[in-house]
Structure 1
Amino acid sequence: MKAKLDLHHRKAEKARLEMEKDGNLSQIPTASISMMSIDLEQVLFLPTLTHTQMFYSRQLSCYNLGIHISDTGTAHMCLWDESITGRGANEIGSALLKCLNLPALNMKKNLVIRSDNCIGQNKNKMLLFLFIYLVHNGKFEKIEQKFLVSGHSYLACDRDFAQIERRKRVTKNYVPDHLEKMIRSAQHKNPFNVIRMNREDFKNLQEISDSFLNTTKLTISKACWIEVSKKNPTLVRTKTTFNEMEEWTSCNVLKRGKTLSDLKTTPLPQLDCKNRISQEKAKHLEDMLDYIPLAYISFYTGIIEKTKQNNPE
């Protein structure tokens, strides 16, 4: 047991040192890599109410994907709520794509992405497809995704989220616009950039990755390091450790019958975004209307009505 624990801690320390090395390298002006950390903040709930009844009520869930760029020390926060869609791999990949397409985002040609080991959100075929898509279309020459050891989070996003949580404790937020303002004001030096995610921003990465990729031989769940390069974007290389002595394992993930030309000419399909608010939660939100300032009631009556229409009793 002690030997396993020691090995676990050595792997965690190696992952931390690897991230530190990438971060320092990305800050050198002449370096060829950019490094970013991505993570989903714990759910932000609306509205902010102090009435005792609210402690037992279900509130509106809002999602915030943090993207921290080590090169410049800047952070982007992609914000949406459950009346728009959920928080799976389609949503995470779509938010990352929107951020990477920002005109003002001056990224180098080699990108290193740091994330935790959550298979459902960060370690899956949908994000892998996105990396292949971006490299094949010339956005980057190489994308590497490196995963932290479970239980050991050293991401810069965690520090950003701590700032947001401190600010949230001293503000009243009733609607998503308030959350946006609160997040922008959470850090005075180098303020966070908030990216509001709309329905049209979300892509169905699952549908298109299922169409193009076969990852059964990739064993992505065991990888701690994934590499996609311009030379052959669908020949994905992986490692299970950050040990320099470990050789790369290569796997061609392009489905039989598909070509890279097909990949370049196929548009990303839109995600069929669905309101994720349950009837029970809609009733709880309706009960809160008496405690919400009049100016913000229309926001809640709108999503309550849509929920009732989508889920008739």
Structure 2
Amino acid sequence: MAARNAMSNQERECLQKELATHQETAGQGYQSLHKDKEAVKKASNSTIITFDMMQNLPVPTLTHNSMFYLRQLWEYNFGVHDCTTDSATMYMWSELVAKRGADEICSCLMQYISNLPLQVKKLTCYSDSCFGQNKNFEMICFWNWQIVQGRFSQIDHKFLVRGHTYLPNDRDFSHIEKKKDTAVVYIPTHWEELVRKVCRQKPYTVKSMVGSEFKDFSDLVEQHTRRRKDSNKKDVLISKARWMNFGQGVDQHGREVKHLNEVWLRYSYSLDESWSKVSLLKGRKKIPPATSISLPIKYPNGHSILKTKVQDLKKMIPYLPEEHKQFYIDLRTSNEALHEVVIPRIAADWSLVADYLEYEVEDKKLIREKCHHDPLKCCVELLENWLSTNKGASPKSWSKLIEILRQIKILTSITEIIVQDLAKAGVFV
């Protein structure tokens, strides 16, 4: 019994030490934020921002009993708070427009940066450590690209400790949360109107994001290398990093050093800690990323939602005001997007439909006849069959469809159009 009590005491002491270290690190994070705020006030070429995603906002906000069993549409809100001017900008969109991943965060930040004064050359950012949105390799590539383009000379991105991430954005969001229970919202734009008016003393700037403003950063990421070892052959632990530095930084000896196409990492907020220096150059030849990269639109036809969710939303129509019913009547599923976006492109080429069906189906003669009488219907049946057998397919499995199309000697340009449209329509989600 005594040994058991002694062991529990040891475990208790260990946990208390871990808690003390955790709280100390969290305190250092807030101190760093405060010091950076004060430093920026003395530098006209610097600014400091914090950013965060708000909890999803439901649409519509009906109070009918049936709502408990039905899934609502989500409105997303990404907030950027300028600590220099103490102003907030909200980037808002619904899940019909885009998702809420790293591409979306980088797209919003790109919009924000485009509105910053050109004399701002040093940017300091604070955020939480959400891996899917803020603390990932895509964000590293995005910040490095801003340096390579010459937009900034130095970028510092610092991450607060989990559980202690109270940022100015949370204060901004609290004003919206207070109105959440009483808000009358029937369509996504109603939330945007509410957010514009929610803070009377210093109204928020609200930017309604559209599909063409969300970019696909995969080409940018491809021009960088994700390395597992730093310049000293030590493991690179992005998940544990508290501080990322790009462009130029001050080393532990107080010297200012320029470093292009490198990310410097620290695992604390201490100025005395040595940087973990990681090259981002592509491959063994150390190829630098291009200064100008074409970023394709990620959702040119919008982001389709699941059929079951659309069905739930349509069940709400009887409880909505007449003027807002059409919005829900017009909602389309992934399969409906297939018919509207993809099929019209393919149906125009009769030989394409016939050859495709002949390749895929055993009874070629019967399919030939069907295709001759109604090529559009046959094309629809074939594609729907492919989608049903490949339900939940990841982007990697698209290569299977590409290979099928190429084997039947379809022009590469047509192949790419078909596959891109399938992806954009959301039929693989």
Class of the TM-score when normalised by the shorter of the 2 chains: over 0.9
Give the partner amino acid of 2:225.
L
Relative to structure 1, the CA distance from residue 245 to residue 258 in structure 2 (aligned partners, 3 Å threshold; closer, same or farther) is: closer
State the match for 2:319 in structure 1. Answer: 291
Q: Deviation of residue 10 (structure 1)?
A: 0.4
Q: Which structure carries more helix by proportion?
A: 2
Amino acid at match of 1:233: L
Q: CA deviation at 1:106?
A: 6.7
Q: Distance in 2 between matches of 1:107 and 1:187?
A: 29
TM-score (norm 1): 0.92
The answer (yes or no) to whether the contact 2:305–2:333 under 8 Å persists in 1 is no
State the distance in 1 between where 2:333 and 2:308 align: 14
Q: SS of 1:234's equivalent?
A: strand
8 A contact 2:310–2:333 mirrored in 1? no
Work out the CA distance in 1 between the residues paired with 2:118 and 2:38.
17
**CA positional deviation for 1:77:** 0.6
Q: What amino acid maps onto 2:81 in structure 1? A: H
Q: Mean alpha-carbon deviation: is it higher for 37-46 or for 223-232?
A: 223-232
Corresponding residue of 1:267:
294
Whether 2:57 is the aligned partner of 1:39: answer no
Letter of the 2:318 counterpart: D
Separation in 2 of the partners of 1:114 and 1:242?
12
Q: 1:70 is matched with which residue?
A: 83
Indicate conservation of the 8 Å contact 1:93/1:130, yes or no: yes
- CA pair 23-158 structure 1, distance change in 2 beyond 3 A: same
SS at the partner of 2:290?
helix
Cα displacement (A) at 1:30:
3.6
> 1:185 is paired with a residue of what secondary structure?
helix
- Larger RCO, structures 1/2 (Cα 8 Å, 6+ apart): 1
User: What is the rounded CA distance, in whole Å, between the counterparts of 2:30 and 2:260 in structure 1?
Assistant: 27
Write the distance in 2 (CA, Å) between the matches of 1:236 and 1:44.
35
Contact 1:239 1:247 in 2 (8 A): yes
Distance across 2 between alignment mates of 1:309 and 1:294: 24
The answer on whether the counterparts of 1:63 and 1:87 sit within 8 Å (CA) in structure 2 is yes
- Give the alignment's TM-score, normalised by structure 2: 0.68
Partner of 2:141: 129
Counterpart position of 1:205 = 217
**Aligned match of 2:95:** 82
1:240-255 correspondence to structure 2 within 5 Å: 240-255=267-282
Q: Contact (CA 8 Å) 1:282, 1:307: kept in 2 or not?
A: no
Aligned partners of 1:239 and 1:286: how far apart in 2?
Answer: 50
**Alpha-carbon spacing, 1:133–1:300, altered in 2? closer, same or farther (3 Å):** same
Report the residue type matching 1:41 in the other structure.
M
Write out aligned runs for 1:1-313 (5 A).
1-26=15-40, 28=41, 30-102=43-115, 108-217=120-229, 218-229=236-247, 231-256=258-283, 257=285, 259-260=287-288, 262-272=289-299, 275-303=303-331, 305-310=332-337
**How far off is 1:276 after superposition?**
4.6
Cα pair 2:54 2:78 within 8 Å, conserved: yes
Are 1:208 and 1:269, in contact at CA under 8 Å, matched by a contact in 2? no
Q: What percent identity do the matched residue pairs reach? A: 31
Q: What is the deviation of 1:29?
A: 5.2
Q: RMSD across aligned C-alpha pairs, in angstroms? A: 2.0
Q: Tell me the equivalent position of 2:233.
A: none
Which consecutive residues of structure 2, in runs of 5 or more, have no partner in the other structure? Answer: 1-14, 230-235, 249-257, 339-383, 389-429
Aligned to 2:406: none
Query: Structure 1 residues 215, 81: CA separation in 2 closer, same or farther (over 3 Å shift)?
Result: farther
Change in Cα spacing, 1:82 to 1:215, as seen in structure 2 (3 Å) is: farther
Rounded to whole Å, the distance in 1 between the matches of 2:199 and 2:239 is 36
Aligned partner of residue 23 in structure 1, secondary structure = helix
1:290 is displaced (CA, Å) by 0.6
> Once the two structures are superposed, what CA deviation does each residue of 1:25-63 show, in whole Å capped at 9, x if it has no partner?
22x254542111110000001011011111221000111
- 2: CA distance, partners of 1:228 / 1:29: 21
The runs of at least 4 consecutive aligned structure 1 residues that moved more than 6 Å come to none
Instruction: Label 1:111 to 1:281 Cα distance change in 2 as closer, same or farther (>3 A).
Output: same
Does the CA contact (< 8 Å) of 2:215 and 2:297 recur in 1? yes
CA contact (8 A) 2:59 2:72 kept: yes
Q: CA deviation at 1:160?
A: 0.5
Structure with larger Rg = 2
- 8 Å CA contact 2:52, 2:79 repeated in 1: yes
The question of whether the paired residues in 1 share the 8 Å contact of 2:304 and 2:337 is answered with no
Aligned residues: 309
The structure-2 alpha-carbon separation of the partners of 1:117 and 1:195, relative to structure 1 and needing over 3 Å to count, comes to same
Q: Report how far residue 245 of structure 1 moved.
A: 1.9
With 156-165 and 130-139 compared, the bigger mean Cα shift is at 130-139
